[in-house]
């Protein structure tokens, strides 16, 4: 599994865009990049997954540069309910997924 | 469509005791993974079950064992409990074993070891 590095915490205000960058310098050719969101006392929830370039869904976008050594999760127009821990995972078919400490995003009114 | 369900939600045990946690996967899922999440940390992979066999295992001692039943439900057993085993235990199900499959998590079992 590729090692990932994310900021420990980020603060934002309602209505702003939040961008969380994850570094994964030793990503392998067949690795995918996946992001999860976790609220207190709940299990993580899948947000988005990508391999290269850009992926967008109804709640987020994932930007992956050509060298794939990093990725950025973008949360447009955040609300208070987006306050959570966000995890970046990188891997392929070896499924020993362990989450790092993640990024705690705090959205203020 | 029921998601992943775990029982019990909370449990208090004393050192040396044994505990069994249960998980029912999301409908249609055949793969179950277990995670341990200590306070302030991310979930750590314990093991994964597919076709009633342990397929992959994380860095956990043999005190942690599991089982998967023909209906794909699963149990996590922890023997000789230590204070350090206090954590949130999460079960996740998926359609297959690959990283590319979305994991669907339950809300977990909060285990306190006194």
Domains defined for chain B, CATH in brackets: 5-97 (2.60.40.10)
CATH code where residue A53 lies = 2.60.40.10
Contact A42 B105 (CB under 8 A): yes
Residue A93 belongs to a domain? yes
Please name which of B99, B5, B12, B2 lies closest in space to residue A97, comparing C-alpha atoms.
B99
Domain membership flag for residue A68: yes
pLDDT in tens, A42-67: 999 999 999 998 999 999 999 999 99
Residue A42 lies in a domain: yes
Query: Exposure string (b/e) for B39-60, b if CB count within 10 Å is 16 or more?
Result: eeebbbbbbbbbeeeeebebee
Task: With a cut of 50, list the residues of chain A below it in pLDDT.
Answer: none
In a domain, A3, yes or no: no
A55 occurs within a structural domain:
yes
Q: How far is B20 from chain A (nearest CA, A)?
A: 19
Identify the domain containing residue A45 by its residue range.
9-108
A2 in a domain, yes or no? Answer: no
**Residue A31 counted as domain residue:** yes
pLDDT in 10s for each residue of chain B, 114 residues: 679 999 999 999 999 999 999 999 999 999 999 999 999 999 999 999 999 999 989 999 999 999 999 999 999 999 999 999 999 999 999 987 666 778 999 999 999 999
Q: What is the pLDDT of residue A53?
A: 87
**Residue A91 placed within a domain:** yes
Q: How buried is residue A67: exposed, middle or buried, by Cβ count under 10 Å (0-12/13-18/19+)?
A: exposed
**Per-residue pLDDT tens over the stretch B64-97:** 999 999 999 999 999 999 999 999 999 999 987 6
pLDDT at B10: 97
- Comparing alpha-carbon positions, the chain A residue that sits nearest to B44 is A98
Q: Do B108 and A32 touch (CB under 8 A)?
A: no
Q: Work out the minimum CA distance from B104 to partner chain A, whole angstroms.
A: 7
* Number of domains within chain A: 1
């Amino acid at each position: 599994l590729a090692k990932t590095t994310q900021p420990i915490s980020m603060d934002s205000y309602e209505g702003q865009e939040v961008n969380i960058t994850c570094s994964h310098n030793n990503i392998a050719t067949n690795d995918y990049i996946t992001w999860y969101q976790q609220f207190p006392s709940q299990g993580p929830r899948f947000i988005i997954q990508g391999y290269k370039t850009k992926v967008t869904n109804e709640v987020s976008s994932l930007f992956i540069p050509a060298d794939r050594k990093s990725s950025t999760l973008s949360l447009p127009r955040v609300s208070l309910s987006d306050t959570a821990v966000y995890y970046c995972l990188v891997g392929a078919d070896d499924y020993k997924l362990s989450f790092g400490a993640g990024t705690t995003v705090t959205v203020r009114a | 469509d029921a998601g992943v369900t775990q029982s019990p939600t909370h449990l208090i045990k004393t050192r040396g005791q044994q505990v069994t946690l249960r998980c029912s996967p999301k409908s249609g899922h055949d793969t179950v993974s277990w995670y341990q999440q200590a306070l302030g940390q991310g979930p750590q992979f314990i093991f994964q079950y597919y076709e009633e066999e342990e397929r992959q295992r994380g860095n956990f001692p043999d005190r942690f064992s599991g089982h998967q039943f023909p209906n794909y439900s699963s149990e996590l057993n922890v023997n000789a409990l230590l204070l350090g085993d206090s954590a949130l235990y999460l079960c996740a199900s998926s359609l297959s074993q690959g990283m590319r499959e979305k994991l669907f998590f339950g809300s977990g079992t909060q285990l306190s070891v006194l």
